[in-house]
Amino acid sequence: MCTLERTLAVRLLISIAIIMPDFLASGNSCLDGKQFMQDRSSLPAEVNTSLSVELGSSCVLCCPPVLLTNVDLRTWKIMLRDQPFCTKAYRRETNESTDTNCTDERVTWASRPDLSPHLQINAVAVAHDGYYICEIVSPTGNFQHGYQLQVLVRPEANMFLSKNKTLVCEAVAGRPAAQISWTPKGRCVTKEEKNSNGTVTVRSTCRYSDSNVSTVTCLVSHVTGNRSLSEVLPSGATTSGSAASSLLIILYVKLSVLMVVLVIVGFASSQKINACSKV
């Protein structure tokens, strides 16, 4: 009985020794022990993931969790906007890796391709926005994992009072476009401007006619984080609108009074003319 137990223990240690090199060789946040031990028959043949990465950061794109000893060919297909189709491949039988139309040195294997099938992108740029596919060919079947990679760019937030006493709030060169809101609300106009590098600048202008408003806050909302900016209105900045309205009211009243006077004078003159004609 003890001999049988020792035999089973030895076999277990041998099995662990066989599995662990593959596990450690692929040591990466992409995979864990449970993924390695799962039944490959339950592994989906195709998976697609949407992934957002902030500009300037680094990321690792993972291949399907298949043991490297079972992988004959691993291939990364990279499709980026306005760039040639890039293919990175490694064949285990010949221990050869090939790159086709891959010129960006920031896009590399996460480790040696014979040790790890994953892809690493260093210092992510807007140009890396695109679709990445890892294809695995093994005796147990073919698997692939696709990534729709979106590069996020944090906008630069600015707020200032223009020469015509209009408040301006900007979210410069963000990706995707930021949203701008005001507290308190005023008479605001917001416009977007697309930049040549794929970013968007959002500019919002706001006027306030309420003389009780002294401080205005602009909130720039973005997926990379929100930012709140405040501006204190100088005296007179909030009264320009009300002053103009008051001037219009005064002019309207004066014109109304003038019209009434003219009507009265005209009526009196017509009465005098009628009286003279009767005499």
- Name the maximum alpha-carbon separation found in the chain: 151
Residues near 67 by beta carbon (within 8 Å), at least 6 away in sequence: 19, 22, 36
Phi-psi region of 215 (alpha: psi -120 to 50; beta: other; left: phi over 0): beta
- Looking at residue 227, its pLDDT comes to 97
For the range 34-39, what are the long-range contacts, defined as Cβ-Cβ under 8 Å and sequence gap of 24 or more?
A: 35/65, 36/65, 36/67, 38/65
Q: pTM value?
A: 0.68
User: Mean pLDDT over all residues of the chain?
Assistant: 81
Mention the CATH class of domain 156-240.
mainly beta
Q: Which residue type occupies 99?
A: D
- Looking at residue 7, its pLDDT comes to 44
29-152 and 156-240 in the same fold: yes
pLDDT tens-place string over residues 15-24: 333 333 333 3
**Domain 29-152 classified CATH 3.40.50.720?**
no
- Looking at residue 140, its pLDDT comes to 84
Residues near 116 by beta carbon (within 8 Å), at least 6 away in sequence: 25, 26, 28, 109, 110
CA–CA dist 125, 121 (Å, integer)? 9
- Looking at residue 46, its pLDDT comes to 83
pLDDT in tens for each of the 279 residues of the chain?
444 444 444 343 333 333 333 333 333 467 543 344 344 455 677 889 999 999 999 999 999 988 888 889 999 999 998 899 999 999 999 999 999 999 999 999 999 999 999 999 999 999 999 999 999 999 888 999 999 999 999 999 999 999 888 999 999 999 999 999 999 999 999 999 999 999 999 999 999 987 788 899 999 999 999 999 999 988 765 544 444 555 566 666 667 767 776 767 666 666 665 555 555
What is the residue extent of each domain of the chain?
29-152, 156-240
